[in-house]
């Protein structure tokens, strides 16, 4: 499963509680679309740390990395490649 697909599945299940998947585009802003709240961002951090086995550093928790499926996937790829 692609990184994008894993992120979408996690969000659909744990943040949207939706059984029919993630119905937004990969570029949709999580905050603008109301997909996550402040707590949701922390949930996402935990998820990528556990699921992709990466360490998220504080300065990296910014909308540029965490505010859409594509941004988050790109971030995960960068981190995985770098580590």
Partner 1 sequence: MCGIIGVFNQADEKRVDKDILLQMLGLIRHRGPDGFGIYQDERVSLGSTRLSIIDISGGDQPISNEDGSVWIVFNGEIFNYIELRPSLEAKGHRFTTNSDTEVIVHLFEEYGAGCLKYLNGQFAFAIWDTQRQSLFLARDRLGIRPLFYTEKNGQLIFGSEIKTILAYPGVQPEIDLHSLDQIFTYWSTLSPRTIFRDIFEIPPGHYLMMRGGEKNIQSYWSLDFSPGKTSPRSVQEYQDELEALLIDATRIRLRADVPVGAYLSGGLDSSTTTAIIRNFTDTPLDTFSISFSDPEFDESPFQRQMAEFLGTQHQVVYITHEDIGDLFPHVIWHTEIPILRTAPAPLYRLSELVRDNHYKVVVTGEGADEFLAGYDIYKEAMIRRFWARRPQSSLRPMLFNRLYPEISHMPNSQAYLASFFGAGLLDTQARDYSHQIRWRATSRAKRFFSSRVSDHLNRVDGAAADEIIYPPGFDDWDALSQAQYLESTIFLPQYLLSSQGDRVAMAHSVEGRFPFLDYRVVEFCAALPPALRLNGLVEKYLLRRIARKWLPDEIWQRRKRPYRAPIHRSFVRADGSTPDYIEDLLSPASLKAAGLFNPEAVQQLLMKLKSGKRVGETDDMALAGIISGQLVWRLFVVDFQRHAPPPIRYEELRRDCSPQSVVAGGQHAV
- Chain residues binding partner 1 by CB under 8 A are 13-14, 16-19, 31-32, 34, 37-43, 46, 58-59, 61-64, 67
Nearest CB to partner 1, comparing residues 18 and 25: 18
Nearest CB to partner 1, comparing residues 5 and 62: 62
8 A C-beta contact, residue 54 and residue 76: yes
Please state at what angle helix 3-14 crosses helix 38-52, rounded to 10 degrees: 140
Nearest CB to partner 1, comparing residues 5 and 42: 42
Instruction: Report the Cα 1 to chain-centroid distance in Å.
Output: 15
């Amino acid at each position: 499963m692609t990184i994008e697909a894993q992120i979408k599945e996690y969000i659909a299940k744990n943040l949207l509680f939706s059984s029919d998947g993630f119905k937004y585009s990969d570029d949709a802003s999580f905050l603008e679309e109301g997909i996550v709240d402040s707590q949701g961002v922390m949930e996402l951090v935990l998820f990528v740390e556990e699921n992709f086995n990466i360490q998220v550093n504080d300065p990296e928790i910014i909308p540029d990395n965490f505010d859409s499926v594509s941004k988050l996937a790109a971030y995960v790829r960068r981190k995985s490649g770098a580590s």
